[in-house]
Structure 1
Amino acid sequence: MQASKEEINMQEVDFFVNEEEIKDFKERGYNDDLLPKTADKRNMSSKNYFTLWMGSVHNIPNYTAVGGFLFLGLSPINVMLALIVSSLAVSAFMVYNGRAGSKYGIPFAMHLRSTYGDLGAKLPGFLRGCVAAIAWFGLQNYAGSLALLILIGKLWPGFLTLGGGFNFFGLSMPGLITFTIFWAINLLIGIGGGGALNKFTAILNPLIYIVFGGMAIWAVSVGGGIGNILSYVPTGAGVQHYTPFLAYFIIINSVLSVWAAPGASVSDFTQNATSTRAQTVGQTASLLVAYLIFAFSSVAILIGGSIHFGVQEWNVLNIVNKWDSVPAASIAVIVFLMTTVSTNATGNIIPAAYQLSALFPKSVDYKKGVIIASVISFLIMPWKLMENAGSIFAFLNIIGAVLGPVAGVMLAHYYFVKKQEIDLDALYMDTTADNSKNIYRGVNVEAYIATIAALVISVSGQFIPALQIISNLSWIVGSALAFGIYLLLKKAKK
């Protein structure tokens, strides 16, 4: 039955809880981090969302990924266009999956509960907020520490020889120092939460325009002009020749996979929106503008640097490290460090803290969650994980494949099963009472079946060579299959 225009308008109206309801939910055992945000706490405007994701785009792994895109057989201009199209796909995902948060003011943990049930939400929440987030947090810290090592080495060459033969489980003294420093910086930003992040990104974003714009201008100049950049053809054994249509989809899938984790838990950020319109306009503009800049700057810097130095170089840090100007190299590395911090906060440590708080609501609040997640990220020794590129990327690909189906089920459930309606009183159930008839109690079996079935299919390409194409499109395949399977199972149940 088609919804009337009046019903649709009602579904789009944001819902604000009052202090009496908050007090009632607290008495049921929920801490402040899990409670829906009241109107006075929803303080993120379109401007805040516009600045939120800028730093998350311009990070070291993303630049490295673009180097791989140039080997898919597309021209440089087509790689740029594919990145811009990808930004529209990502912004649609972030905006639509974030509407439950902006409408009701609820965090990801409760959004997940509304889809999978209070018990069912624990596994996908743990995979996204703990396993994936903590592992990525550690890996991003290590990647950032390598950039910090380059920076200090430029300013103080003797630092690189400190400690002599000192070895901490495979890490040298300079490496341990830079990792610990960068880890501590990320910890402090994480403890500061969204407020600290807003201030941090306000400083970072103008620097992104200045530094990456300047690097792109340098690359075009030393690369012989924009014509040389756009006509460049990579060579070597790694070059592949996909059809343009398929290559576009591979790039779109890769970019969506990068955003799979923050996109799944985007309600942790949209819960603070002044309105749904604010997060819609802000996130769309943020991602589109960020990727417009990134598409040109990444392709220009990588190709221009490769032409200038006479060697195909797809690690942007290696290009910066070859610069003769210490001040220029230092400024560029500092901005890369800042973008890594921004990415770590938005995509890793904040979701990890919220999920730990959701798993242990009576003993762990947000700040304790940040500290616990940070300590675990240090103890797993991420530099060890990166010693074997094959195993770590297999692990991260599997985690990413899980989050595609989770996103598909969440979208299908919210928009097509529940018609954008959540019963907050039932959602914030009193766990000490009889909840046998509560719609959010237990496990949403259909959601689990759809998630697992889509997961098995989306990762099959990693083990069956004939299905390699599915692996290349794992997020798209996984989310689409989970979306369709879930709706079919729900329809069959009626």
Structure 2
Amino acid sequence: MGVKWGQLKERLQVPKDEDSYYTNTTWCNRDLIPMPVDRRTWGIWGYFGYWTVSGSCISAWSTGSTLLAFGLSPQQAIGVVIVGGVLTGLLAVACGWMGENHHIGFTVSSRFSWGMRGSYFPVVLRVFVACMWFGMQAYWGGQATRVLWGAIIPGFANMKNFFSDGSHLLTKDFIGLIIWMIAFIPLVLVPPERLQVPFAISFCLFAGSCIGLLVWSVHNAGGAGSMFHEPGSSENTGWAFMFGITAILGAWGAGTLGQSDWTRYANRKFAPTLSQLVAAPITIAVTATIGIIVTSASKDILGEIVWNPIYLLADIQDEYHSSSRSRAGVFFASMGLVSSQLAISVVLNSVSTGMDMAGLCPKYINIHRGSYIMAVIGIATQPWQLLSTASRFLKVLSGFGVFMAPATGVMLADYHVIRRRKLKLNDLYTGDSSSIYWFNKGVNWRAPVAFMSGVWPLLPGLVGTVNSLTSQSFVGWIRLYNLTFIIGLAMSFVIFCGLNYVFPPTGLGLEAPFVDEVLSGVEQHGANIGSEKSDEESGKHAAMATVAM
């Protein structure tokens, strides 16, 4: 029995490459090691494709609703989107730098800041949020699929509901979700290094949807619509402008935090940088601007404000009584929305969450298995229930920026300021005290202290927002909370730097390449093997390099 169980455990282990130079351990597998040269397939245009998917999506389209809610005018909102997009690009460059240079993702990079065991905390936090968001993205993808099939089969759009009212799920939405999931599952099997073409197709389809809706709305409304020319309602435009910028940063914050999950596939240094600095702000700004114009113009046509393009397409088909012409337009436009939901679920959820889960159990979970686990958990949360019955839940989930921002501050401070972008890569896969990233029993106490320093000032505002508290005592806290990403990142960044200057950890300034790069003789990330080797472990790396040569 023991033999059979041992054989079963061995079979359940994730596969390794042929002639692999690594073993599946508690800290290492194929998807966690520094990306080998043959898997670095992403160039400049590939990253442009990535940001066209991440920046041109339904979330970017609907950004205007958030900005106008702050009291900004549509023109001011467009200005905020441009500034926020530029800052998002800069943040993406900073967070993705370790991927470009060391070819490691967020899961592994958390280890040098939090410690080998402490890294489980930010990883689990990101997994939890990603699973929830995937459930909602899948539900919206199912609704877009329902609209698509409703354009093909008009009767499906008005299909009788066979579910109870308490389920908060229509039969046609459930069928759309099943079809969308069938399309999503095969995408999980596509290696991240081969996703450039699917991303390009998705962008072309979504861009066509945006342009089509823009032309339709402006033509029929005779311009941008009356709402577009309404003045802002904010008593303090400066505060509203800052709230808007931090809302943009928060919306893409989780994606930028894990930017190294994608930049690790870069085929050369600086390949992702241009797309992050150019494509990110352009795609975010253009998509949000189109969303504001279309919403304004369609209000004059349909008589109501509809920010979500999925529901807008369904209303358009109803407005024209399911005419063949309207159904054709809705069909092609909804194809772009369906593909966008598929692509964004891969970009922000599937790959990154799969890698995070691989970090929790590398022997038995890789990116593909982790993605499937995420999908099961995401659907099991019944997002239709959460969206329909718990308005507070969305506020709470959005409030997880309170935790993401300080985590970003800790990572940026440690990598760019404290360690000055120097890492001993092998030690990131060594789970004992011989690793300089072991700290105290596997935990770097500086990280949780800095993290909580960035979190606690924002918690009262989160409570006030979730519970819709309007008392004077909460006004200041809520204002501070509305600046979540900026305040949380800045405070954790400063506190972490201060703690490390007062209590410097061991191993600062040391760097060494991953053992596979030494043994195979490929690039060594510019590491100077012979310099800055002061401990016994570094001497071992140098000896290995000599043998390999």
**TM-score relative to the length of structure 1:** 0.88
C-alpha spacing 1:321/1:162, structure 2 compared with 1 (3 Å): closer
| 1: CA distance, partners of 2:57 / 2:91 | 21
2:142 to 120, 145, 162: 145
User: Contact between 1:187 and 1:370, CA under 8 Å: does it hold in 2?
Assistant: no
User: Contact between 2:145 and 2:179, CA under 8 Å: does it hold in 1?
Assistant: no
Structure 2 unmatched ranges of 5 or more: 1-16, 321-325, 465-473, 505-549
Structure 1 unmatched ranges of 5 or more: 1-18, 235-239
One-letter amino acid of the counterpart of residue 281, structure 1:
L
| 2: CA distance, partners of 1:143 / 1:334 | 13
C-alpha spacing 1:27/1:210, structure 2 compared with 1 (3 Å): closer
User: Contact between 2:56 and 2:203, CA under 8 Å: does it hold in 1?
Assistant: no
* Superposition pairs of residues 260-275 of structure 1, within 5 angstroms: 260-275=253-268
Alpha-carbon deviations, 1:395-426, whole Å to 9, x = none?
31332211100001100000110001111121
Following superposition, the deviation at residue 63 of structure 1 comes to: 2.7
Following superposition, the deviation at residue 394 of structure 1 comes to: 3.0
Q: Secondary structure at the match of 1:476?
A: helix
Aligned to 1:281: 274
Following superposition, the deviation at residue 213 of structure 1 comes to: 2.2
User: Contact between 1:454 and 1:481, CA under 8 Å: does it hold in 2?
Assistant: yes
C-alpha spacing 1:245/1:147, structure 2 compared with 1 (3 Å): same
Aligned to 2:384: 383
Say whether residues 1:250 and 2:243 are aligned partners.
yes
Say whether residues 1:345 and 2:346 are aligned partners.
yes
User: Contact between 2:138 and 2:181, CA under 8 Å: does it hold in 1?
Assistant: yes
Work out which structure has the larger RCO, using CA pairs closer than 8 Å and 6 or more positions apart in sequence.
Answer: 1
One-letter amino acid of the counterpart of residue 483, structure 1:
F
Q: Which moved more, 1:24-33 or 1:50-59?
A: 24-33
| 2: CA distance, partners of 1:401 / 1:197 | 31
Aligned to 2:155: 158
Aligned to 2:490: 480
One-letter amino acid of the counterpart of residue 444, structure 1:
N
| 1: CA distance, partners of 2:129 / 2:436 | 30
**TM-score relative to the length of structure 2:** 0.80
Q: Secondary structure at the match of 2:288?
A: helix
1:316 to 309, 314, 330: 309
Following superposition, the deviation at residue 256 of structure 1 comes to: 1.1
1:303 to 290, 296, 307: 296
Q: Secondary structure at the match of 1:463?
A: helix
Following superposition, the deviation at residue 36 of structure 1 comes to: 0.4
* Superposition pairs of residues 386-405 of structure 1, within 5 angstroms: 386-405=387-406
User: Contact between 2:151 and 2:157, CA under 8 Å: does it hold in 1?
Assistant: no
Aligned to 1:90: 88
User: Contact between 2:152 and 2:327, CA under 8 Å: does it hold in 1?
Assistant: yes
Following superposition, the deviation at residue 111 of structure 1 comes to: 1.0
User: Contact between 1:398 and 1:459, CA under 8 Å: does it hold in 2?
Assistant: no
C-alpha spacing 1:21/1:149, structure 2 compared with 1 (3 Å): closer
Following superposition, the deviation at residue 447 of structure 1 comes to: 1.0
User: Contact between 2:88 and 2:281, CA under 8 Å: does it hold in 1?
Assistant: no
| RMSD over equivalenced CA pairs, Å | 2.4
2:173 to 172, 175, 193: 175
One-letter amino acid of the counterpart of residue 484, structure 1:
V
How many residues of Structure 1 are paired with residues of Structure 2 in the alignment?
467
Aligned to 1:419: 420
Following superposition, the deviation at residue 329 of structure 1 comes to: 1.3
Aligned to 1:81: 79
User: Contact between 2:74 and 2:229, CA under 8 Å: does it hold in 1?
Assistant: yes
* Superposition pairs of residues 185-200 of structure 1, within 5 angstroms: 185-200=183-198
| 1: CA distance, partners of 2:296 / 2:191 | 37
Identity of aligned residues (%): 25
Following superposition, the deviation at residue 352 of structure 1 comes to: 1.2
C-alpha spacing 1:411/1:162, structure 2 compared with 1 (3 Å): same
C-alpha spacing 1:424/1:196, structure 2 compared with 1 (3 Å): closer
Aligned to 1:329: 330
Q: Secondary structure at the match of 1:186?
A: helix
